[in-house]
């Protein structure tokens, strides 16, 4: 689709500050927003067009199955204080998007009702006080919502530059899992070099990132997954062992793999059915980090004795309700510690499938079917 503001980028796909040239003619009259955008562009000696007023977005017409996701036209959002407006080139699909579509994960107050927690694209407008990035910068961002759209506003502190060698699809596949894994496996779980971790859902978007970062930061990663193909993928990503939980008892396998010592951190997204076995898997001083309850949250009979005898920590967190400053401090840590690893190509997203934005429903069907390994991404531009 072409609309006012469409522009052509000149230079490599991954240059940080690409030169941009407008393809269309100047509109006859400019509103205040357009004049401000053009003034900012002129100051930077680049030619940028103001964003259009309307965009294509994916609307969830009601809570329900994938078919409720339909492309519609709606207004382009304006960046508020400390926000940037991103012309979205790609948007990641995440399991929480499925929950939001079903009406089980409402957006926090003030967040866009449009589904979509991560995007990659070009900054096209700065809100008052927005710092750190300029118009024309290519960023990937953890959004507060609104990613399944041609334009999305994001607090500037939640943006990161595209790692070297990443295109829009790869960059859009990073924020949600890298923010989540850093905050949970490394910050809450305190995984450190020389330690061992068990990553459940090893081929989920989260699992792929957790295995790679654990390996990169000197830890030994074990993973669980539901098929032989998924287990092979875990090994290829750097897991020392992968356990097919449908065929093997993962707690017994972990005891055998660690000579009875156990692991230091379990990163779990399954919940109740794994609760007691996760405690069995932990070494003395171990940490259980809960990030989801795909198998349920309520445990009827859990023997907590091991928490005392092994001095265990049970913790967990959610990402979306965190404040802008919390997300910004995670972004800063990622920029310093993890983005150099991505720049060097030592880890990165595993892209399973890419769909056009208009086929968001198909992307959700694939995610719910559950055979994917790594990330599902929407191509927006």
Ligand X SMILES: NC(=O)c1ccc[n+]([C@@H]2O[C@H](COP(=O)([O-])OP(=O)(O)OC[C@H]3O[C@@H](n4cnc5c(N)ncnc54)[C@H](OP(=O)(O)O)[C@@H]3O)[C@@H](O)[C@H]2O)c1
Identify which of 380, 372, 308 has the alpha carbon closest to the alpha carbon of residue 98.
Answer: 372
Cβ at position 73, least distance to ligand X in Å: 28
Residue 324 structure tokens: 């802008």
Identify which of 87, 135, 85, 144 has the alpha carbon closest to the alpha carbon of residue 113.
Answer: 144
How far apart are alpha carbons 15 and 27 in whole angstroms?
Answer: 29
- Does 225 help bind ligand X (rule: CB under 6 A)? yes
Residues 207 and 201: beta-carbon distance below 8 Å: yes
- Does 91 help bind ligand X (rule: CB under 6 A)? no
Which segment (145-153, 303-311, 316-324, 331-339) binds ligand X by CB under 6 A? 316-324
- Does 205 help bind ligand X (rule: CB under 6 A)? yes
From candidates 18, 66, 96, 328, binder to ligand X by CB under 6 A? 96
DSSP one-letter string for 313-377: EEEE--STTS-HHHHHHHHHHIIIIIHHHHHTTSS---EEEEEEGGGHHHHHHHHHH----SEEE
- Does 175 help bind ligand X (rule: CB under 6 A)? no
Residues 55 and 88: beta-carbon distance below 8 Å: no
Residue closer to ligand X by CB (options 33, 365) is: 365
Identify which of 343, 370, 360, 379 has the alpha carbon closest to the alpha carbon of residue 162.
Answer: 343
Residues 122 and 151: beta-carbon distance below 8 Å: no
From candidates 170, 185, 269, 288, binder to ligand X by CB under 6 A? 269
Backbone angles phi, psi at 171, to 5 degrees: -65, -35
From candidates 30, 113, 370, 381, binder to ligand X by CB under 6 A? 370
From candidates 198, 291, 330, 380, binder to ligand X by CB under 6 A? 291
Question: Over the range 53-66, which residues count as b (16 or more CB within 10 Å of their CB) and which as e?
Answer: eebbbbbbeeeeeb
From candidates 54, 187, 313, 318, binder to ligand X by CB under 6 A? 318
Tell me which residues in 270-289 interact with ligand X (CB under 6 A).
270
Which segment (51-59, 92-100, 212-220, 341-349) binds ligand X by CB under 6 A? 92-100
Cβ at position 187, least distance to ligand X in Å: 12
Residue closer to ligand X by CB (options 55, 98) is: 98
- Does 147 help bind ligand X (rule: CB under 6 A)? no
Which segment (28-36, 94-102, 107-115, 278-286) binds ligand X by CB under 6 A? 94-102
Residue closer to ligand X by CB (options 115, 292) is: 292
- Does 350 help bind ligand X (rule: CB under 6 A)? no
How far apart are alpha carbons 300 and 283 in whole angstroms?
Answer: 24
From candidates 40, 142, 185, 206, binder to ligand X by CB under 6 A? 206
- Does 59 help bind ligand X (rule: CB under 6 A)? no
Cβ at position 251, least distance to ligand X in Å: 16
- Does 139 help bind ligand X (rule: CB under 6 A)? no
- Other beta carbons within 10 angstroms of residue 143's beta carbon come to 28
Q: What residues line the site for ligand X (CB under 6 A)? A: 94-96, 176, 180, 201, 203-206, 225-226, 230, 269-270, 291-292, 294-295, 317-319, 367, 370
């Amino acid at each position: 689709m072409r609309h006012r503001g469409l522009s052509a980028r000149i230079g490599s796909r991954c240059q940080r500050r690409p030169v941009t040239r407008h393809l269309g003619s100047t509109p006859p009259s400019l509103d205040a927003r357009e004049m401000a955008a053009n003034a900012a562009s002129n100051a930077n000696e680049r030619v940028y067009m103001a964003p259009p007023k309307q965009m294509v977005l994916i609307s969830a017409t009601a809570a329900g199955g994938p078919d409720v996701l339909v492309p519609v036209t709606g207004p382009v959002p304006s960046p508020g204080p400390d926000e940037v407006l991103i012309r979205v080139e790609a948007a990641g699909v995440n399991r929480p998007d499925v929950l939001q579509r079903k009406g089980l994960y409402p957006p926090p107050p003030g967040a866009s009702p449009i589904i979509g927690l991560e995007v990659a694209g070009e900054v096209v407008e700065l809100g008052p006080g927005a710092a750190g990035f300029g118009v024309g910068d290519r960023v990937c961002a953890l959004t507060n919502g609104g990613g399944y759209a041609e334009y999305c506003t994001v607090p500037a502190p939640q943006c990161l530059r595209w790692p070297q060698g990443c295109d829009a699809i790869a960059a859009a596949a990073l924020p949600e899992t890298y923010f989540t894994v850093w905050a949970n496996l490394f910050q809450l779980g305190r995984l450190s070099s020389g330690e061992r971790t068990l990553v459940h859902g090893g081929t989920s978007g989260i699992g792929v990132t957790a295995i790679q970062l654990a390996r990169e930061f000197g830890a030994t990663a074990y993973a669980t997954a539901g098929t032989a193909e998924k287990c092979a993928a875990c090994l290829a990503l750097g897991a020392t062992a992968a356990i097919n939980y449908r065929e093997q008892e993962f707690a017994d396998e972990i005891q055998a793999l660690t000579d009875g010592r156990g692991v230091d951190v379990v990163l779990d997204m399954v919940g109740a059915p794994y609760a007691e076995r996760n405690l069995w898997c932990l070494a003395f001083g171990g940490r259980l980090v809960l990030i989801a309850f795909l198998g349920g949250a309520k445990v009827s009979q859990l023997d907590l004795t091991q928490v005392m005898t092994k001095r265990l920590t049970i913790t967990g967190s959610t990402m979306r309700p965190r404040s802008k400053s919390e997300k910004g401090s995670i972004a800063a840590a990622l920029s310093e510690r993890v983005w150099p690893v991505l720049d060097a190509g030592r880890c990165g997203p595993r892209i399973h499938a890419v769909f056009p934005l208009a086929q968001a429903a198909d992307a959700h069907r694939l995610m719910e079917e559950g055979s994917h390994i790594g990330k599902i991404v929407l191509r927006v531009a």
